[in-house]
Amino acid sequence: MATKAAHKRLTREYAALSTNPTPYIVAHPTESNILEWHYILTGPPGTPYDGGQYWGTLVFPSDYPFAPPAIRMHTPSGRFRCSERLCLSISDFHPKSFNPAWEVSTILLGVLSFMTSEEMTTGSLSATESERKTLASRTRWWNSTGGGSTNRTIPGQQTQTSNSRGFGAIKAGDGGKRFKEQWPELDEENWKWMEESKVNPQTGKSLIPQPQPSCSPEAAALRRRVGGTTAGIGAVVDGGREVGAAGQGWVRRNAWYIVLGSLFAYVLVMRVVGEQRQ
């Protein structure tokens, strides 16, 4: 239970955050326990986390602000281990280094700053920029479905089976129930986004068919003939003709390079011959 001083301090800080929001950060205490806060960090532009929705918790000690909170991030980010306590100078790993003048906004700015760096500590992870961008694009789905463990479906979508743990799920997941309890408006927005983007709630994958990469003109020509209605040797011969035509097209496109290469080779040969005659 919070001391009277801690309760007063946290109440004041919540009012300050609500009146003067900090960019990329929202946070609030739970209704039942002012020592338990939930936050959302929005990935800043120009980082691999751009647009990501990162949900986490701060659990303050009863004697706050004379001791720091335990800091966790639940949403997979490629930067922090899901739901593990983070070892930061502003966390409960280092109570002696905590400054009582620091506030909730200061703490969360510190988390965001550390997240966008590459410094390693207890609870952090190494990942490629591509992996982090992929995770960022799936954060809204992950938060509102518990990593795919939800039973909820979207009207008009066919249900797809998946691993019950889902993509990046924590243990078995809770179907997004805890996130919805703390962030009902965001949860509603996330489900609307999934419906509009045709994202399957159980898998997190888009139901929109992805275009297949095209092959080279030579291979396409051969495949059109061999895979067509003409059968036997004639199909292969015709396919070979189209490959040859495609090859001639390559020669025409690169004629200048061929001419210059030939001239260079001719000059080089003549120089060698002249040296031998001398």
Residue that has been written with the tokens 């929202």 in this structure: 26
CB atoms within 10 A of CB 159: 12
- Whether 87 is catalytic is yes
C-alpha to C-alpha distance for 62 and 15, rounded to whole angstroms: 19
Catalytic residue among 59, 67, 70, 87: 87
Measured in whole angstroms, the distance separating CA 36 from the mean position of its chain's CA atoms is 27
**Which pairs from 68-76 meet CB under 8 Å and 24+ separation?**
68/92, 68/94, 68/95, 68/98, 68/102, 68/107, 69/37, 69/107, 71/107, 71/111, 73/41, 73/111, 74/170, 75/139, 75/142, 75/143, 76/135, 76/138, 76/139, 76/142, 76/147, 76/168
31: amino acid identity, one letter: E
According to DSSP, the residues that pair with 73 across neighbouring strands are 56
Q: Which residues are catalytic?
A: 87
